Amino acid sequence: MGLYDDFNNNKEEEYYQVKQSKWYLRKELIYLGIALILVFSGSLLLYNSNRVKVPSFANMSNGQVNEWGRDNGLLIVTKTEFSDDIEKSFIISQETPAGTIISKNSTIEVVVSGGKDPQKELITPVFKRMTEEEISKWFIENDISQYELIYEYSSTIEKGKFISTVVDGITVDEEEFVLKRSSNIKVIISKGSKDKEQISVPDFSGKSLVEIKRIIEEDDLNVVIKEVFSDSIDKGYFVSQSKEVGSMMIRNEEIEVCISKGKGLKVINFGKYNRLNVEEVLSKEGFKYIVVERYSSSVEYGKLISQSKRVGAVINYDELIVLEYSLAKVKIGNYLGERYNDLIEFIEKCNMKYANIKLDVDYVSTSSSEEYEDMEPGTIIEISKLNEEVSVGETISVIVLK
C-alpha cells in the first residue's frame, strides 16, 4: 500500500514539472516572437527611410529637379539637348521612369532643354512683302535674337517698306534664303525721302537735364523743357515726354520733356482751421506763409476768407502762401461825448485791415446852444453808430463841436 502511494506521488510530481516546463517554453516563444516582430518592423522602417519614389519631371525646370534631388539625398546628372518644343532649362526626359523606387544616394540622369538650336537652318519669308511688325514677329517667333531693323533714307522706296537684308555682313539679293538662328541679321527699312525727314523719338528716361540738352543739340531737336514736381524723381532728372519713345516724327516737330523740380508741397484746404491754430499747421507742414487779418461783412470771426494758392496745387518749399482770416464786422463803441480825434484814430486802424469805413462829419459851434458852452471843441455830440457792428465800406455820420 505504501509503495503504491509513493509511485503515484512521483507520477504527479513528474507531470507537474513537465507541464511547468511547457509553460516556460511557451512564454519564451512568445517573447521571441515579439522580438522578431520588432526587429522586422525596425528593419522595414529603416529600409523604407532609405528609399525614394521618383516623380515625373515633366514641366519641371532643371532648378526644381536639382532642389528635389538635394531634399531627397539624390544626385541629379544633367545632359543638355536642343529642343524646338521644350522651353530652355526645362526637362525633356528622365532616365529613371516616374514611380520607380530607388535608394538614397542614387544617381538620376535627366535631359535638359538648351532651347532652340542656334545652328539650325531656317528658310526666310519674303521680307519685302511684310511690314516692320511682321518682320520683327518672325524673328522673335523663330528665336533669332541677333537681328536689327535699321532705317535709312530712300527717295524711291516708301517709308516703312523693306529695302534690303544683310546677313553676317553680306547683302542678300534673294527674296527667300537660308540662314542660321545664330546669324547676325540686319533688315534695312526705308525712312522715306530725306526731304521729309522723319526721326525716331529718342528715349530721355533716366537722363539728367544736362544730358537731355546735349542730345537736343546733337540731334537738332525741337524740345520744350517744362519743370514739374515729383515725389520720386530727383531734381534735374527726366520725368516724362510728350511723344512715345521709338515713334516716328518730323525732325522739327515739337516734343515736350518734363524735368523734375524735386518734391513740392501740396496745398491743403486751410478753411478747416481757424485763426488760432492755423499757424501751427503751417509750420508743421513746412509752408512759408503770411497770415493777414481783415474785416469782413460775410465771414465769421476767425474763419478763412481766402488763400493765395488753390487747394491741391503743388508749390515750392520757398514759395509764399498768403492766408486771409476774418475779423468779422467793425465794432463801434460809445464815442458820444468823446474826442473826434480818438474816433479818427480808431477808424484809421480799422481801415488798415480793409474795413474801408468812411466818416461824414458836420461841425457846430459851441455857442450855438447853451448845452455846448461847457464842452471842448472837437467833442462828438452826435454819431449814427453807437455800440454796434458796422459793415465793411459803411459810412458813419458824426456831428462835432468846433
Neighbours of 260 (CB within 10 A): 22
Contact 105, 69 (CB under 8 A): no
Assign domain 52-108 to a CATH class.
alpha beta
Distance, CA of 259 to CA of 353 (rounded, Å): 42
Per-residue pLDDT of the chain (402 residues; tens, 9 = 90+): 555 555 556 666 666 665 666 666 676 667 666 655 554 444 444 445 689 999 999 999 999 999 999 999 999 999 999 888 898 999 999 999 999 999 988 999 999 998 888 888 888 899 888 888 899 899 888 888 888 999 887 878 888 888 999 998 889 888 888 888 888 999 999 877 766 777 899 999 999 999 999 999 888 788 999 999 888 899 999 999 999 999 998 877 899 999 999 888 999 999 999 999 999 999 998 999 999 999 999 999 999 999 999 999 999 888 999 999 999 999 999 999 999 999 999 999 999 999 999 999 999 988 888 888 888 999 999 999 999 999 999 999 999 998
Task: Establish whether domains 121-196 and 265-326 are of one fold.
Answer: yes
Indicate the domain borders of the chain: 2-47, 52-108, 121-196, 200-260, 265-326, 330-401
| CA 287, chain centre distance (Å) | 27
Could you give the residue ranges of the DSSP H alpha helices within 230-355?
Answer: 278-285, 340-351
What's residue 39's pLDDT? 42
DSSP state of 174: -
Which CATH number does the domain 200-260 belong to among 3.30.10.20, 3.40.30.10, 2.170.190.11, 3.40.50.300? 3.30.10.20
**Which residues lie closer than 8 Å to 24 by C-beta, 6 or more apart?**
none
330-401 placed in CATH 3.30.10.20: yes
Assign domain 121-196 to a CATH class.
alpha beta
Neighbours of 357 (CB within 10 A): 20
| Nearest of 360, 357, 364 to residue 332 by alpha carbon | 357
| Nearest of 131, 132, 188, 138 to residue 165 by alpha carbon | 188
DSSP state of 301: T
Distance, CA of 349 to CA of 339 (rounded, Å): 16
Contact 111, 61 (CB under 8 A): no
Which CATH number does the domain 265-326 belong to among 3.90.110.10, 3.30.10.20, 3.90.1010.10, 3.40.47.40? 3.30.10.20
Residue located via cell numbers 516716328:
248
